Structure 1
Amino acid sequence: MAALSILFFAFALLLHGASSLVPKTLIVNGKGGGHVAIGYHLAKELTSKGHDVTILQNDDVDSSKNPFSSYADLTTTKVLNKPFDDTFTYPFKELEFDFVFDNSSKDPSGPVESVLLKANPAKQRYTFIGSAGIYEKPSSLPHNSQLTEAMPVNSAKPAAQFEKALQESSIPHILFRCQYMYGPLCSKHYLDYFTHRIKSSLPVPVPSPGTQIVSLTDVRDVAKQLSKVCDALPPSGSIFNTGTFNDLKHTYIDVANMIGEGLNMKPDIRLYDPNSKTDFPFRASEFFVKSDKSVSELDFDGGIHELKKYIPEIVKSFEQRHPRVDTSKDEAAIKSVV
Structure 2
Amino acid sequence: MASLASSSSALFSSPSANFHQPSLSPPSPRLSLSSFSHFSALSSSVSIAPSFVTYPFSPRRFNPCSLSVKAIAAGKKNVLIVNTNSGGHAVIGFYFAKELLGSGHEVTVLTVGDESSDKMKKPPFSRFSELVSAGGRTVWGDPADVGKAVGGSAFDVVLDNNGKDLDTVKPVADWAKSSGIKQFLYISSAGIYKPTDEPPHVEGDVVKADASHVGAEKYIAEIFSSWAVFRPQYMIGSGNNKDCEEWFFDRIVRDRPVPIPGSGMQLTNIAHVRDLSSALTLAVENPDAASANIFNIVSDRAVTLDGMAKLCAQAAGRPTNIVHYDPKAIGVDAKKAFPFRNMHFYAEPRAAKDILGWQGTTNLPEDLKERFEEYVKIGRDKKPIKFDLDDKILEFLKVPVAA
Higher relative contact order (CA 8 A, sep 6+): 2
Per-residue displacement from partner, 1:169-220 (whole Å, max 9, x unpaired)? 2352101111010111111121122111111111111122211111101111
Offset from partner CA, 1:122-149 (integer Å, 9 cap, x none):
64321101111111113xx15xx21111
Distance in 2 separating the partners of 1:122 and 1:336? 61
Q: Choose from 313, 321, 325 the match for 1:260.
A: 313
The more displaced of 39-48 and 326-335 is 326-335
Residue type at the aligned position of 1:270: V
Deviates more, 1:210-219 or 1:317-326: 317-326
- 1:72 is aligned to 129
Contact kept, 8 Å, 2:203 with 2:350, in 1: the verdict is: no
Partner of 2:370: 313
Say if 1:99 and 1:122, in contact at 8 Å, map to a contact too: no
State whether structure 2 residue 294 is matched by structure 1 residue 239. Answer: yes
Q: Does the CA-based 8 Å contact 1:134-1:153 persist in structure 2?
A: yes
- For residues 134 and 95 of structure 1, what CA distance do their matches in structure 2 show? 34
- Assess, with a 3 A threshold, how the Cα gap between structure 1 residues 170 and 271 changes in structure 2: closer, same or farther: same
Match of residue 86, structure 2, among 19, 25, 32:
32
Spell out, residue by residue over 1:12-37, the C-alpha distance to the aligned partner (whole angstroms, 9 max, x if none).
Answer: xxxxxxxx952111111110110001
1:201-220 equivalent positions in 2, closer than 5 A: 201-220=255-274
Closer/same/farther in 2, CA of residues 329 and 35 from structure 1, 3 Å limit: same
- In the superposition, the TM-score normalised over structure 2's length comes to 0.71
The one-letter code matched in structure 2 to 1:127 is L
Q: How many matched pairs? A: 307
Aligned to 1:333: 393
What are the within-5 Å matches in structure 2 for residues 177-192 of structure 1?
A: 177-192=231-246
- Deviation of residue 331 (structure 1)? 4.0
Pairing 1:55–2:106 present:
no
CA distance in 1, matches of 2:120, 2:388: 32
Aligned-residue CA RMSD (Å): 2.3
Q: Distance in 1 between matches of 2:152 and 2:208?
A: 32
C-alpha contact (below 8 Å) 1:149/1:240 kept by paired residues: yes
Q: Which runs of 5+ in 2 are unaligned?
A: 1-73, 399-403
- Whether 2:190 is the aligned partner of 1:132: answer yes
CA offset at residue 82 of structure 1? 1.6
Determine the C-alpha separation between the residues in 1 that align with 2:87 and 2:384: 18
Distance 1:148 1:95, change over 3 A: farther
AA partner of residue 230 (structure 1): V
